[in-house]
């Protein structure tokens, strides 16, 4: 029974003489008071699920999300997506740590080690997978890795994958030279002052592992790795800190070679820059996920995740951001552009990519990030 019906019945009883005027007005007043108290709080309660905050990497990636995912999602569901950006997972984690539960909802995290790190800090949630039917289209290997971290449950859905490979200016470095030198080109004296590098300690250690012929997921000679990082530092012009800076340094020819994110390099190539891209053996593969942070409105978040995983949305975002989607190519037709993207695996098994082992990297995170911070500054 709605309120209008209740009022009509009350009025009818009053008109029939079943209620005296004082009692009728008293009941009307009580109803008004209850409504007045209820409505403002109801508004706040609804407001909590009227919007969901999403934080991502900015640049072309965020543009793709806005155009292909958030705007259509808001149009269809009425739930607004508050779109934020961050420069890196470390910076974002610091912000989340300083926030109140529920302030940040979904993050576009990179790497399983970040997933494990967030989980270890008590920031993971538990998704109700029944609310995300489109999860069935995702490459199983990508999902299983996350389940392994969170006891078979999920706090995220895999969304895309890519590599951090070697990007080089073809005017100054040939494809043959790149193939011959591989990761060692980043410590080539000949290119002093024209080498760049990401200021991320994991990437630096990964590439130093390759330069010293060690397993990037199980290096045994850390002294050799630190020496290789020092050599790279002394030859480098600049450590870059964001995708935009990476693209600018390469496009302006401030640097000729660096590691780079496959999607960003593809974007440069699309803009007409003669930039080559190569994944060396054991190159750095990663997968990105949409992580739901503890304290978020779960149903609204799950609805957004399901919407974003829908093949038409996922493919459109992938084409916009130039990273292959997590969708299994054996289950979903991914169109024409995606098979041309760097790192794309048509088998859906991803056997050719080496991903970071979260246990290995997270167990050394405290020590290595600090040591790299010192070496980076000349020590």
Tell me if 195 sits within 8 A of 255, measured CB to CB: yes
Smallest gap from residue 97 Cβ to other proteins (A): 7
Whether the CB-CB separation of 207 and 188 falls below 8 Å is answered with no
Measured from the CB atom, is 13 or 95 closer to other proteins? 95
User: From the CB of 141, what's the least distance to other proteins, in Å?
Assistant: 26
Smallest separation, CB 359 to other proteins (Å):
13
Unique residue bearing structure tokens 């399983």: 112
Of 85 and 376, the one with the shorter C-beta distance to other proteins is 376
- Shortest distance in whole angstroms from residue 233 CB to other proteins: 5
To other proteins, the closest distance from the beta carbon of 189 in angstroms equals: 16
Residue nearer to other proteins on the CB measure, 169 or 314: 169
For other proteins, the closer CB: 108 or 233: 233
DSSP 70: I
> Alpha carbon 244 to chain centroid distance?
16
Provide the binding-site residues for other proteins, judged by CB under 8 A.
88, 90-91, 93-94, 97, 117, 120-122, 193, 201, 233-234, 236-239, 241, 248, 252-254, 363, 365-366, 369-370, 373-374, 376-379
Closer to other proteins by Cβ: residue 51 or 359: 359
Q: Closest separation between CB of residue 346 and other proteins, Å?
A: 37
Q: Would you say 231 or 269 has its CB closer to other proteins? A: 231
H helices of the chain, in order, are: 3-15, 21-48, 59-65, 71-77, 89-97, 112-120, 140-149, 175-181, 201-211, 222-235, 243-251, 262-270, 298-309, 311-321, 358-376
The pair of three-digit structure tokens given for residue 94, joined into one six-digit string = 């610091």
Residue 207, class by beta-carbon neighbours within 10 Å (0-12 exposed, 13-18 middle, 19+ buried)? buried
359: left (phi over 0), alpha (psi -120 to 50) or beta: alpha
């Amino acid at each position: 029974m709605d309120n209008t019906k209740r009022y009509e019945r009350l009025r009818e009883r009053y008109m029939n003489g079943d209620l005296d005027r004082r009692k009728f007005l008293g009941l009307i007043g009580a109803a008004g008071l209850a409504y007045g108290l209820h409505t403002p709080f109801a508004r706040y309660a609804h407001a909590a699920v009227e919007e969901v905050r999403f934080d991502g990497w900015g640049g072309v990636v965020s543009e793709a999300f806005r155009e292909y995912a958030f705007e259509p999602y808001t149009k269809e569901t009425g739930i607004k997506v508050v779109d934020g950006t961050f420069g890196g997972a470390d910076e974002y984690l610091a912000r989340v740590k300083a926030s109140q539960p529920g302030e940040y909802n979904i993050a576009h995290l990179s790497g399983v080690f970040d997933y494990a790190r967030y989980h270890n800090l008590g920031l993971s949630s538990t998704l109700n997978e029944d609310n995300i039917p489109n999860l069935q289209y995702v490459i199983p290997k990508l999902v299983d890795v996350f389940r392994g971290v969170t006891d078979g449950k999920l706090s995220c859905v895999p969304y895309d994958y890519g590599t951090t490979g070697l990007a080089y200016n073809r005017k100054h470095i040939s494809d043959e030279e790149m193939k011959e030198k591989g990761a060692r080109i980043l410590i080539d004296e000949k290119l002093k002052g024209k080498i760049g590098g990401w200021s991320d300690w994991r990437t630096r250690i990964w590439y130093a592992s390759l330069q010293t012929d060690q397993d990037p997921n199980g290096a045994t000679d850390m002294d050799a790795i630190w020496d290789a990082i020092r050599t790279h530092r002394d030859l480098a012009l600049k450590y870059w800190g964001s995708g935009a800076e990476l693209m600018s340094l390469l496009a302006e020819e401030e640097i000729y070679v660096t590691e780079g994110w496959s999607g960003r390099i593809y974007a440069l190539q699309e803009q007409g820059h003669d930039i080559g891209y190569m994944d060396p053996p054991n190159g750095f593969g990663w997968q990105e996920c949409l992580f739901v942070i503890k304290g978020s409105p779960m149903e609204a978040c799950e609805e957004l995740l399901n919407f974003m995983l829908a093949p038409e949305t996922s493919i459109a975002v992938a084409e916009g951001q130039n990273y292959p989607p997590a969708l299994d190519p054996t289950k979903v037709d991914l169109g024409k552009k995606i098979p041309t993207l760097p790192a794309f695996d048509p088998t859906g098994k991803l056997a050719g990519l080496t991903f970071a082992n979260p246990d290995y990297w997270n167990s050394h995170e405290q020590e290595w990030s600090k040591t790299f911070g010192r070496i980076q500054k000349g020590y």
